[in-house]
Structure 1
Amino acid sequence: MNFWSLNKAKNKEGKIAIVTGANNGIGYETTKGLASVGIEVIMACRDLKKAENAKQKILKLNPEAKLKLMEIHLDNLASVRSFAEEFKSQYDKLDILVNNAGVMMTTYQKTKDDLELQMATNYFGHFLLTGLLIPVLENSFRSRVISLSSLAHKWGDIHFDNLNAEKGYDRRQFYAQSKLACLIFAYQLDKKLVKKGYDIHSYAAHPGVSNTNLMQNLPKWLKFLSPVLMPILSQSAEKGALPILRACLDETLNGGEYIGPSGTKQYKGHPVIVDSDYNSKEDDKAKKLWKVSEAIVNFKYFQNSKDKAKAS
């Protein structure tokens, strides 16, 4: 089979991308890949010192890389708004938005907005960021939004009566919920963009089982076994980034696809179009999640005209 690879991507000089969480893991490898085809990448990170170190590593590999650092805290809605305003003051278009930043199976924590940390960082922050950037995405030709999901989306459901741990917390279930929410959002966003006539498409992608720093919060027994299991079940962050890069760059995609590894159980392999759990495709659930999300982040998509999505 003739699989997609980064060397199949056309040169994209003049294009602009944002990658959240660009300083390590999948975000770093995605940034490196996008820069390699001439795209200017805004590395949207919470820790600018770590981001600068990542930038310098990429520049050593590719001195021609166009990289810019901007600070964002996805778990803080005010920070998301500030980032969007700063970006729009400097750029009048955006070609690719990669909603990558995330946390995994953290201990119970609430944010300044009184949201559960995993849902805030992985989902709600990106939901708001995407909405705020619709006007600049619309100024580009066939722009793209890529939302990162996970195999973990199959572990759980959207618990509308406990979205932010009002009635208890299980870190595994909340991680699953956040990644299912990201996938539902990706599908629903593409439907809405097409219906409303936007020249923007939404995609979802997942890296399979990739060896990144997100693994630090795994249960102790699994960490103990990981030196044995990881080489068998996982792939490098560089390979894990390929589904995300394909979602960003493959011009044969139509919009609304979910990209993941080709191997057994989608653990690792070449980037291909994959299927997702039935929970991610329930229309009523998607509509409810969208409505609840707009209320939680206090932002309404497509409120007036197609080039003026304003805060509610």
Structure 2
Amino acid sequence: MANTQNSAHGDGNRNMDSGGLQSILHKFVGPAQPELEDLSGWVAVVTGGALGIGYEVSRALAMANCRVIMVNRKEEQGNEAISNIKKDAPHAQVEWKECDLGHLASVRDVFSEIRERESRLDLLILSAGINTNQFGRDADGIDRHFGVNWLGHFYVCNQLWPLLRKTSKLTNTPPPRVVMESSEMHRFAPSNVHFATLDEINDENMDGTKLYGRSKLAMILGTKYGLVERVIKPNQDHVFALAVHPGVVNTAMQQQWKYAYPGLIGKLLTCTNTAVGRDPEQGAYSALWAATSPEIEEKGMNGFYFSDLGTPGKETSQASDPALGAALWELSERLVKEKLGENALVDWNAAA
């Protein structure tokens, strides 16, 4: 079985092709860097936070005095990320936790411990994932794109929701935010997606682009019609949930095109994306903007998908289908219970 999180939005190599075209053009093209205010006292959890886009998110937040908990699969990734951040900010408050998001029991163990240990959680940035690649199953026997990119993050949200709710009730504290790293690639989800059964999810004949697109579609649907419509609104929680597109970013995730499409096509796609993509720092800007911009709260932009900084995306009809969103949510809850038992989910209305 292939690794469940061998590369991703949050698991690319931040040093990859650092002398490439995107680095040369960094100051001249692409989005402007969001200006972060002092985040002293804030706590953030960043999945995929030790590499690629996730690392740049973690680094920016730590430099703004936020305490950051990075979550990745490999210890050497975490140790290197902490070392690199502390070179620039010796007093940065950063730590690392090991977790495979394609293993629901691991998600439960790691994030329930964070929930019980921490007194607050201001930002939850969901950046880990798998790029376009061939079909494979995660540790729970689920398509690894769906399992890591969506279902693992769904369960992270569930395990941490009581802590987010608790934080939302603190005085003189901005409402917590959940930011999912989705993608414009949600447009490539297959037209016959129903999110009805595990057999549908585990379609071994589906190509890598559709597998990836379906998982990114799930992240938008889960934000709008899951967290906002089925949790935040019924509970009247003062929490914001958002999805963003980071742009085409030159991290190690682009190398997965070669595995998704062996041969010349895969090599051409890899070369094209690594030549013109944003660098990881720029790729982090959309998540950082969504996590901290006052505009989100001022304009009540809950459940929005942004295709770039401050630019609401024009989702596909699938991503705007509340019935499809409801089906995804119900399937997600069912799969977690099937894998871990009827009591695996935390009550969405519970407080830490």
**Fold shared per TM-score above 0.5:** yes
Which structure is richer in relative contact order (CA contacts within 8 A, separation 6 or more)? 2
Tell me the residue number matched to 2:4. none
Q: Alpha-carbon deviations, 1:84-143, whole Å to 9, x = none? A: 122123212211111110011233221221111111110100001101110001111311
Q: CA RMSD in A?
A: 2.1
Equivalent runs, 1:48-59 vs 2, <5 Å:
48-59=75-86
1:290 aligns with 2:337: no
| Offset at residue 222 of structure 1 (A) | 4.7
Tell me the residue number matched to 2:307. 260
Task: Give the Cα–Cα distance (whole angstroms) in 1 for the partners of residues 82 and 243 of structure 2.
Answer: 25
Tell me the residue number matched to 2:216. 179
Q: Alpha-carbon deviations, 1:14-65, whole Å to 9, x = none? A: 0001000111111011111111211111001111111110111111122232
1:97 aligns with 2:97: no
2:284 to 222, 236, 241: 241
1:16 aligns with 2:43: yes
Equivalent runs, 1:173-252 vs 2, <5 Å:
173-188=210-225, 189-192=227-230, 193-218=232-257, 219=261, 220-222=263-265, 224-225=267-268, 229-230=272-273, 233-252=276-295
Q: Alpha-carbon deviations, 1:227-266, whole Å to 9, x = none? A: 86347642111111101001111122022222233xxxxx
Task: Give the Cα–Cα distance (whole angstroms) in 1 for the partners of residues 131 and 273 of structure 2.
Answer: 17
Tell me the residue number matched to 1:69. 96
Q: TM-score, normalised by structure 2?
A: 0.78
1:6 to 8, 25, 34: 34
Gaps of 5+ in 1: 262-269
Aligned length: 296
Contact 1:190 1:203 in 2 (8 A): no
| Offset at residue 149 of structure 1 (A) | 0.6
Stretch of structure 1 that moved more, 193-202 or 131-140: 193-202
Q: Specify the code of the residue in structure 1 equivalent to 2:305.
A: Y
Q: Alpha-carbon deviations, 1:256-286, whole Å to 9, x = none? A: 222233xxxxxxxx55333222211101111
Contact 1:146 1:203 in 2 (8 A): yes
Q: Specify the code of the residue in structure 2 equivalent to 1:114.
A: G
Secondary structure of 1:11's counterpart equals coil
Tell me the residue number matched to 1:264. none
Alignment CA distance shift 1:57-1:167 (3 Å): closer
Task: Give the Cα–Cα distance (whole angstroms) in 2 for the partners of residues 174 and 224 of structure 1.
Answer: 19
1:148 to 174, 178, 181: 181
Q: TM-score, normalised by structure 1?
A: 0.88
Aligned sequence identity (%)? 26
Task: Give the Cα–Cα distance (whole angstroms) in 2 for the partners of residues 169 and 176 of structure 1.
Answer: 11
Contact 2:47 2:125 in 1 (8 A): yes
